[in-house]
Structure 1
């Protein structure tokens, strides 16, 4: 499935709609260039999971944990230098746990992700427009 977003608000809304279909244990690999809108999509997912905290990219901490109707584990693996860093923080316990895991730059650790991982690719078309491609999502998403 591919959809175009013409604003940060629309990207947020797409995340909100995705969240309503997620269940415990779901894993999302979120990919796109810097500035593509990955964190805006995560903010929408968080809102849909009833997270009330401000969502920020965990660039320097690797993972941020948020409480909502189910836990949200928001990873940013862009700066990891070795996959062993993920094992040190208990990566497998997160992705096989009771929450939803969203991994920005998930393509960098693809070999660690389960087969059922939902893949979302965001491509910059111009200053305001993004193409959001959603793969391996076996639910009907009405946008």
Structure 2
């Protein structure tokens, strides 16, 4: 949280109580890939008077400052996750098309392809994303 505070200050933003509670909710649900509405509902439990627009503005600011990133999984709803501090920026996702559950895969199998793209197209790859869509083990078990 201290690093985020410093980043906000260096960008001339304050860590307001509203921003802090949004960050707390994101940290508490780091594996959840929450949508803005999910964040709002969880924040509202802590701070009932907070508005949806405040949550949206906070998420946009955090995204612009590269603290979090927006992801889209086969739907028109943005979901959010923290950006990695390390150069090991690649991870991928498994998305269940039945229940919507999203899991992370920490292995990066695209390194060789990334190198080929950089050489062949003289293009510096900063990041890449890969999402596998299918049926999760829980839904497969339910269907059988």
Q: Same fold (TM over 0.5)?
A: no
Structure of greater Rg: 2
Structure (1 or 2) with the greater helix fraction: 2
**TM-score calculated relative to the size of structure 1:** 0.27
